[in-house]
């Protein structure tokens, strides 16, 4: 289970009834309190590119790279600047960032994944690695700014398992590590709204027969459906269950379930408060963090709670590091 792609919980309705039951289970585990025994919850930083680094377990050498270190084919694992130049000769910005990471990241024993936020110089307080601009109270003096969120366990890159963390303590005087910890908002109004939303999801699921969930004969067929949904989001169009059913041939009740899970997700987002004192802006307007990442220990489900019409739409239209592999 590598942290290459996180799913939106509403998208999992297209994986069938069991996947939806897992979503319900994860949501219920967050209903009454922030249970760290069941879930790992952290801030989703909008950093770019994603950097994988650490000690290669096969040869004990320190390396940096992107998520392409997990490629099934050529694994772009960079031990030296020459490796970086070889793999990324035509990607100047990415090449320069990887060189900085190779120089300044601590020589840790494990393998980790982090988001690159920017370069500190003691004067700059704002950084825009991707879509969101982050403003720090004090200008970071460290050479690079990183949001580390996942460690990996395994004897080689093919077999590694992701172990997401809400907070990872890292050494390194040259790196400013941003805090991904979240606190729980205990206001009763959220609990009542969430309980009502969960009841609606459970009731809707009972209305749908197993054979009414879509069965995709090829990976391409599901990809085409996700492209259609993302196109609606990119263009700012509200998803309409009836219209989507007519376009795709998928039962309308499945899209209604999709909408109910998306609504519950929005309520959940308001229950978590980032501990970081970093301010967020999009196009100079104040905004929230991109979202929250939740990893449920029992189901091994990894989901992201993101306000899709606010952030996903912006990210779709921001091509920075879109092909950072």
For 218-275, write each residue's pLDDT tens digit.
Answer: 999 999 999 999 999 888 888 999 999 999 999 999 999 999 999 999 988 888 888 8
Res 320 pLDDT > 70:
no
pLDDT at 307: 86
pLDDT at 68: 96
> With bands split at pLDDT 50, 70 and 90, how would you rate the model's confidence at 185?
confident
pLDDT at 34: 54
pLDDT at 313: 60
pLDDT at 15: 95
pLDDT at 273: 86
Q: What's the whole-number mean pLDDT along residues 91-113?
A: 97
pLDDT at 317: 59
Res 96 pLDDT > 90:
yes
pLDDT at 314: 63
One-letter-per-residue 3-state SS of the chain: CCCCCCECHHHHHHHCHHHHHHHHHHHHHCCCCCCCCCEEEEEECCCCCEEEEEECCCCCCEEEECHHHHCCCCCCCECCHHHHHHHCCCCHHHHHHHHHHHHHCCCCCCEEEEEEEECCCCCCCEECCCCCEEECCCCCCCCEEEEEEEEEECCCCCCCEEEECCCCCCCCCCEEECCCCEEECCCHHHHHHHHHHHHHHHHHHHCCCHHHCCCCCCHHHHHHHHHHHHHHHHCCCCCCHHHHHHHHCCCHHHHHHHHHHHHHHHHHHCCEEECCCCEEEECCEEECCCEEEEEECCCCCEEEEECHHHHHHHHHCCCCCCCCC
Res 128 pLDDT > 90:
yes
pLDDT at 32: 58
Q: What's the whole-number mean pLDDT along residues 159-187?
A: 83
> With bands split at pLDDT 50, 70 and 90, how would you rate the model's confidence at 126?
very high
Q: What's the whole-number mean pLDDT along residues 52-73?
A: 97
Per-residue pLDDT tens for 189-228? 677 888 999 999 999 999 999 999 999 999 999 999 999 9
């Amino acid at each position: 289970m590598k942290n290459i792609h996180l799913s939106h919980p509403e998208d999992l309705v297209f994986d069938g009834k069991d996947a939806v039951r897992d979503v319900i289970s994860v949501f219920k585990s967050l209903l009454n309190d922030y249970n760290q025994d069941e879930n790992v919850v952290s801030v989703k930083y909008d950093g770019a590119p994603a950097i994988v680094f650490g000690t290669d377990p096969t040869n004990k050498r320190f390396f940096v790279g992107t998520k392409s270190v997990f490629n099934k084919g050529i694994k772009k694992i960079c031990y030296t600047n020459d490796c970086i130049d070889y793999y990324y000769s035509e990607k100047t910005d990415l090449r320069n960032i990887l060189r900085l990471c190779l120089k300044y990241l601590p020589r840790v024993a494990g393998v980790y994944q982090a988001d690159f936020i920017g370069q500190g110089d003691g004067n700059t307080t704002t950084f825009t690695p991707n879509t969101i601009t982050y403003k720090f109270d004090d200008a970071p003096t460290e050479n690079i700014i990183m949001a580390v969120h996942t460690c990996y366990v395994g004897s080689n890159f093919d077999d590694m398992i992701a172990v997401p963390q809400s907070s990872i303590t890292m050494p390194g005087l040259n790196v400013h590590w941003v805090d991904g910890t979240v606190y729980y908002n205990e206001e009763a109004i959220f609990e009542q709204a969430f309980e009502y939303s969960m009841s609606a999801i459970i009731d809707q699921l009972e209305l749908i027969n197993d054979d009414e969930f879509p069965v995709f004969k090829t990976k391409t067929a599901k990809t085409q459906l996700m492209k259609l949904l993302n196109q609606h989001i990119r263009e700012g169009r509200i998803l309409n269950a009836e219209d989507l059913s007519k376009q795709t041939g998928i039962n309308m009740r499945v899209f209604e379930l999709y909408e109910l899970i998306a609504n519950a997700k929005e309520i959940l987002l308001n229950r978590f408060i980032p501990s970081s004192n970093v301010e967020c802006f999009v196009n100079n307007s104040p905004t929230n963090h991109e979202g929250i990442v939740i990893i449920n220990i029992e189901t091994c489900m990894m989901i992201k709670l993101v306000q899709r019409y606010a952030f996903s739409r912006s990210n779709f239209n921001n091509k920075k590091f879109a092909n950072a592999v």
